[in-house]
Amino acid sequence: MKKFRSLLTVATVTASVLLAAGCGAIEAPGGTAAAGGDAASGGEFKLASRISDDVKQNKKLVIRLSYHDPSLAFASPIRQGVEKAAAELGVDAKIVGPTGGDANQQVSELQTLINQGQVHGLAVSSASSDALKPVIAQAAAAGIPIISFNTDNPGSAQMAFVGQDLEKSGESEAAELVKLVGDKKGKVVVFSVDTGAGWSHDRFTGFKRGLEGSGLEIVGPVNTGNEPSKAYNTVESTMAAQKDAVAVASLDCCSFTAAAKWIKDSGNTGKIHAVGFDVLPQTVEYLKGGVVDMTISQNPVDQGYRSVKLLVDHLRDGTPIADVDTGAVLVTEDNVDDVPVEG
C-alpha cells in the first residue's frame, strides 16, 4: 500500500468582497448596492428591470450554466450539482453548451439566451478565457448577473468565479510528485487536452513553480486533444521518445486516463509515476490497480451547485456575489473510496 496522503482545502466563500469603487456595484433586487463584479465591467451593474420584476412576483428563476463542452465526462458531476440546486431551490437550472467545445458556438448560444430575455442568471465556463469576454460584457450590460465557474475569465465583466484555484492545484500536484519521486532525477512529461486553454496555462504555471529546485526536468506540456484514441496515440508517440522519463503528469482528467492506459499497456506500472486530475471511473480503477499514484479532485458537483446557489441567493435576497473556492482533494488508492466519483 502506498503511504496515505490527503490534502483537503475546505471550500470557502471569499469572506471579503471587492470594494465597489474598484469593481462597480451590483444593484440588488431590493434596490441596495451589493459589492462585486470585475473592474472590467466598466461601471455600475444594474439589474434588468424585467428580472427585478420577476423576482418581486416570485416567478420561477431561470439559471443557465454554459459549459464549454457538455459531452465531456467531467460535465456529468457538474450537471448533478446543478440538478441538486434546482430541486432544492425551486428554480429552472440547466447546463448547456456546444458539443465539441466550439468557442464560437458557445458565444452564439449565450447571445441567444441574452437576446431572448428569459434567463435571470448566467454562469460560464470557457476553454479560452478571452473567447467569452465580449459576451460576458454583453450579459452584464443587459443587466443579467453573470459569473464564471470551473474555468476563470479574469479581466472580464464577470461578478465572481466559482471553482478551484488552478495555479495552487498545479503547485500541489507538483509537490506531491516530488515526494513520490524522492531522490530520482529525470524527466517529467506533462500532458494536457488543450495546452492553449487558460485553465491549462494556470495549472502548468503552478506545476512549474512546484517543481523548482527538485532537479526534475519538464518535457511539455504536450497537447493530446479530447478524443480518447488520438490522446492515447499522442501519449504513446511522445513516451517512445522519452524512454528515460521517471514520471508523467496530466493537467486534466482525460489526458490523464490516456497516459494511465499507456502505462498499463506498455508494462510500466510501478516503473513510472503518474499524477493528474479528477476522479473519473477509469481513474479510480487505475488508482486501485497501482497504475497511477495520485489524482486531484476539484469538487465538480459543488461547482455546479454553488454556481446556481450564488446567483439565486443574490437575486432573491440581495446576497453579495463573491468568489467561491471549491477546494482541492489529493486522492490516492488509500482514500479513493471516500471521494465521490466524477462521471
Regarding predicted confidence, which is higher, 330 or 9? 330
pLDDT recorded at residue 282? 95
Enumerate the H helices of 195-320 as residue ranges.
198-211, 228-240, 254-265, 281-288, 300-317
DSSP character at residue 120: S
Q: Which fold has domain 17-162+300-321?
A: Rossmann fold (3.40.50)
Q: Quick count: other Cβ atoms within 10 Å of Cβ 82?
A: 27
* CA neighbours closer than 13 Å in the CB half-sphere of residue 154: 6
Report whether 139 contacts 114 (CB < 8 A).
yes
| pLDDT score of 1 more than 70 | no
Nine-digit cell string for 60? 420561477
Distance (Å, whole) CA 79 – CA 280: 15
Distance (Å, whole) CA 56 – CA 53: 5
Enumerate the H helices of 90-129 as residue ranges.
103-116
Instruction: Give the DSSP H/E element, type plus range, for residue 181.
Output: helix 166-181
Distance (Å, whole) CA 266 – CA 316: 56
Q: 150-183, pLDDT tens digit by residue? A: 988 889 999 999 999 999 999 999 999 999 999 8
Domain residue spans of the chain: 17-162+300-321, 166-297
pTM reported for the whole predicted model = 0.75
- Reported as a pLDDT band with limits 50, 70 and 90, residue 343 is low
Phi-psi region of 29 (alpha: psi -120 to 50; beta: other; left: phi over 0): alpha
Highest-pLDDT range among 3-17, 307-321, 324-338 = 307-321
Report whether 287 contacts 259 (CB < 8 A).
no
Distance (Å, whole) CA 5 – CA 21: 43
| Edge-to-edge strand list for the sheet holding 273-277 | 217-223, 187-192, 245-250, 273-277, 294-297, 329-331
Does 166-297 match 17-162+300-321 at the fold level? yes
pLDDT over 70, % of the chain: 87
Average pLDDT, the chain: 87
Domain 166-297 in CATH 3.90.580.10:
no
